[in-house]
């Protein structure tokens, strides 16, 4: 099986549009303080609410990364550390998050499961404290649609990824179905209170972040979540 399988619906054909580089990504605007409060409140129930339902996507993402021994992986938005035991033990993982409560849960999980190849740091994803070209893989699971500036986060992810490395984004994006897209815009100001904007525009995000995906796969059930893989050239 190829490392990157083309999506049957060939979503990548639709990434460029006449206004993709300038149109708004979402009807909802948030600030860092708001995001931090949301996740401070969600920390104690996150694994119950978002654990099993979104787990297949996490497994698919790490499997498709093709992580090799000694690879350096950055997980942006590590949350409660729910991915920590999924990584191969012979790679090196750095997990960052803005929420101290989430990181506390992650530290407890890592200690309990005796995971020794993951380190945790508190950090703003839009201002990563790493040198250019530090990581082989930069991965953002279920986080890009809640940060105040998705394009700034993606730019930082690209900066710290080495040339030829992979930038992987697992997230919900606005539907291509007109009716569903209208509904997602309508509810976005409410879904942000449980951790994501429901109407993030994938073509606009990719165009503005200057990311060119090599694959886009649908994951989870229902298949409304996308696994987007890019290579830094």
CATH superfamily label, 11-231? Vaccinia Virus protein VP39 (3.40.50.150)
pLDDT > 60? residue 16: no
The whole-angstrom separation of Cα 219 and Cα 61 is 9
Q: Which two tokens mark 202?
A: 């994938």
48-78: pLDDT as tens digits = 888 999 999 999 999 999 999 999 999 999 9
The whole-angstrom separation of Cα 182 and Cα 177 is 9
At which residue do the structure tokens 């900066």 appear? 159
At which residue do the structure tokens 């994951």 appear? 219
Closest CA to 156 of 180, 133, 182: 133
Percent of the chain with pLDDT over 70: 92
182-212: pLDDT as tens digits = 999 999 999 998 888 999 999 999 999 999 9
Q: Side by side, which strands form the sheet with 213-219?
A: 118-122, 92-97, 72-76, 135-141, 161-172, 225-231, 213-219
Question: Taking a C-beta distance cutoff of 8 angstroms, is the pair 170, 219 a contact?
Answer: yes
pLDDT at 2: 36
At which residue do the structure tokens 């976005």 appear? 188
β-pairing verdict for 72-76 and 213-219: unpaired
Least confident of 27-31, 40-44, 129-133, 224-228: 40-44
pLDDT > 80? residue 20: yes
- H/E run at residue 102: helix 100-112
- H/E run at residue 218: strand 213-219
pLDDT > 90? residue 121: yes
pLDDT at 109: 97
Q: Domain segments of the chain: what residues?
A: 11-231
**The pTM is what?**
0.89
Burial (CB count <10 Å: 0-12, 13-18, 19+), residue 194: middle
pLDDT > 50? residue 4: no
Average confidence (pLDDT) over 221-230: 95
pLDDT at 17: 53
């Amino acid at each position: 099986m190829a490392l990157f399988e083309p999506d049957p619906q060939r979503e990548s054909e639709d990434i460029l549009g006449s206004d993709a580089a300038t149109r708004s990504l979402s009807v909802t605007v948030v600030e860092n303080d708001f995001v931090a409060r949301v996740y401070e409140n969600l920390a104690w129930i996150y694994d119950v609410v978002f654990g099993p339902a979104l787990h297949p996507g996490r497994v698919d993402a790490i499997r498709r990364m093709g992580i090799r021994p000694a690879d350096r992986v950055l997980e942006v938005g590590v949350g409660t550390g729910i991915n920590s035991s999924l990584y191969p033990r012979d790679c090196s993982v750095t997990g960052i998050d803005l929420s101290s409560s989430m990181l506390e849960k992650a530290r407890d999980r890592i200690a309990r499961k005796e995971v020794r190849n993951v380190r945790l740091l508190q950090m703003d994803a839009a201002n990563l404290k790493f040198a250019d070209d530090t990581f082989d893989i930069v991965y953002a699971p279920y986080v890009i649609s809640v940060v105040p500036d998705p394009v700034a986060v993606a730019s930082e992810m690209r900066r710290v990824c080495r040339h030829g490395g992979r930038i992987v984004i697992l997230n919900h994006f606005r539907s291509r179905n007109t009716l569903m897209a209208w509904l997602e815009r309508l509810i976005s100001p409410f879904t942000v209170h449980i951790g994501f904007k429901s109407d993030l525009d994938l073509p606009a995000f990719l165009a503005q972040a200057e990311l060119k995906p090599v694959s886009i796969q649908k994951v989870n059930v229902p298949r409304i979540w996308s696994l987007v893989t890019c290579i830094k050239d």
